Amino acid sequence: MGTVPAADIHAEGGALRLDAVAAGDVVFLYGQSPRLLDRLRGWINVHGQRILAAWRAVEPVRLREKLPHYSHVMLGVGSGLVIHADGKRVSIDVISQIIRPSMSDAARFQVYRYSGLGSAVAEAIVTSAYRYYDQSYGFIPFFSDPRKALRRRKEDTTQFCSRLVAHAYRSGGITLTELADSKVLPLDLYRICQQASWRDVSAEFIDERLDGRVRQVLVDADMERKLGIALSEIFARGDEQVLKGARIQRDFLRLQHKVVRDAVRTEGLLAEYVRTQFEIAAQVRKEPRELEDQVAKWIVEVLRQLPEFLPVAGLSSIEQIVPAAADSPSFVGLPTPTVVRQMQLARETVKIFAYLILGELGMLVIASRLSQLENVAPFRVVKQEYAERFLAAVPAVGNLPARQAAVEGGFLWVTSESDRATCRSLCATIIKVLQAVEVYRSAQSPPTQASAGPAPAVS
């Protein structure tokens, strides 16, 4: 069978080489646990594969065909890492944590490499598998009709070990079998790996660096005396650094998924917050008497930002104020980067609508204290302390006539004509009251020879 048994792994001076793992490697595994229950599970797995493969109509496998007993298969990522559906989820691990030569449950394993696999294709294969990181393990799809599964509205995002490998290769441009990915078993992959296009590279994973020839060369060179350290210690330190590098790469890949997942979750929370803010602002605009502390805080925040906020009227596209995120991986079960971008643009649009309503609301409350006009009378029900806070928050905003002109033909980025008209009206009101505030503050300034008459009261 060409397998590398656990006894060979335990050979004196032998070690598992992390740097032997290449992207796209197919790693077959059979655990040799001393625990009876684990051995029973492995036996059921291996013999269950034979029965399932014999029953099917497409590419059946004879029950008596001689095949090695492998219960699990993993895909090489490179840098000492493998990705696999481990019985719970799709995970990324350092290969030495899965194949453990120094432990009593060391596994028999075998590694095959596709000949002539270019780096671009290998990367595409690994990326396809990585997209399923953290997805749930599930073997039930093996028993489903793939044609019916395609017609389902909800995508099946579960994976099992051999399905993940077959899918990754197919997505990377290499079709390993005519079987549907959900029908591929570890024994199918093993049979495929016996083809001429595959090489057994298992021996490369066993490091015999301290075999007789190497040991003699180092002894003849008197390396231990020259370096002042035992050869075994030199290699142990080297192993430690390689393992450290593999763990850093593993943690980076795990963190990358977490960052994307958290970003999607955060975007959802921000969208919910902005939507709530918009709805509350719209309700208070209709019923000013409902204006309470939280809305007052929002209004103060918006008024303070008016010089920076008012230019939104002149934007040609909302994308001008929503910076594009850095390229990030796309994971199954999470929105794609394109969808996340659309979520960000929609959220920013609603935020601007909310700010316009809040800004206008605050300015109308101020106007209700500066003017006796009937159209601002409904806003006199708002507490005087809020009116004073709003007025204090309004900064000096220069070039108001030009801003007014920009509003009249502005908000071209708003797709709905009615929404565009509403935005123009809200912004125009803000600017008009800003002009009134400017006059009021000028009248409130210390009198000069050119000024005469009392300043108008705020209330």
Higher pLDDT pick, 432 / 328: 432
- Residue pair 313/430 in contact (Cβ under 8 Å)? The answer is no
Residue 382 and residue 272 share a domain: yes
Residue 268 and residue 195 share a domain: no
User: Percent of the chain at pLDDT above 70?
Assistant: 83
Determine if residue 158 is left, alpha or beta; phi over 0 gives left, psi from -120 to 50 gives alpha, anything else beta.
beta
Provide the whole-model pTM.
Answer: 0.78
- Predicted confidence band at 97 (pLDDT cuts at 50, 70, 90)? confident
* Residues 69-92 pLDDT 10s: 899 999 999 999 999 998 899 999
Domain-embedded: residue 342: yes
Residue 197 and residue 268 share a domain: no
**Which of 118, 157, 151 is closest to 330 using CA atoms?**
157
Domain-embedded: residue 1: no
Higher pLDDT pick, 71 / 13: 71
Beta strand extents in 358-410 (DSSP E only): none
Residue 374 CA to chain centroid, in angstroms?
53
Residue 197 and residue 273 share a domain: no
β partners of residue 206: 16
Domain-embedded: residue 99: yes
Residue 328 and residue 418 share a domain: yes
Residue 388 and residue 314 share a domain: yes
Domain-embedded: residue 457: no
Residue 298 and residue 162 share a domain: no
Residue 122 and residue 55 share a domain: yes
Distance CA 306, CA 393 (A): 10
Mean pLDDT within 232-240? 65
438 Cβ neighbours under 8 A, 6+ residues apart:
396, 400
Cα angle 116, 29, 33; round to 5: 165
Q: What is the largest CA-CA distance in the chain?
A: 112
Is residue 13 pLDDT above 60, yes or no? no
Tell me the CATH number at 117.
3.90.1720.10
Q: Edge-to-edge, what's the strand order for the sheet holding 72-78? A: 90-94, 81-85, 72-78, 26-30, 108-114, 198-200
* Residues 349-389 pLDDT 10s: 999 999 999 999 999 999 999 988 899 999 999 999 999 99
354 Cβ neighbours under 8 A, 6+ residues apart:
274, 277, 278, 281
Residue 271 and residue 201 share a domain: no
- Residue pair 389/275 in contact (Cβ under 8 Å)? The answer is no
Structurally, how many domains does the chain consist of? 2
Mean pLDDT of the chain: 86
Domain-embedded: residue 229: no
Choose the final residue of a domain: 143, 177, 208. Answer: 208
For residues 403-441, b (16+ Cβ closer than 10 Å) or e, as one string? Answer: bbebbeebbebbeeeeeeebbbebbbbbbebbeebeebe
Helix residue ranges, H only, 287-383: 293-304, 306-309, 337-370
Domain-embedded: residue 44: yes
pLDDT, residue 15, reads 67
Residue 203 and residue 342 share a domain: no
* Residues 125-175 pLDDT 10s: 999 999 999 999 999 999 887 666 555 556 788 999 999 999 999 999 999
Choose the final residue of a domain: 191, 208, 225. Answer: 208
Residue 57 and residue 144 share a domain: yes
Distance CA 367, CA 433 (A): 6
Domain span at 428: 260-444
Least confident of 95-104, 269-278, 328-337: 95-104
Domain-embedded: residue 57: yes
Choose the final residue of a domain: 192, 208, 224. Answer: 208
Domain-embedded: residue 307: yes
Residue 152 and residue 11 share a domain: yes
- Predicted confidence band at 64 (pLDDT cuts at 50, 70, 90)? confident
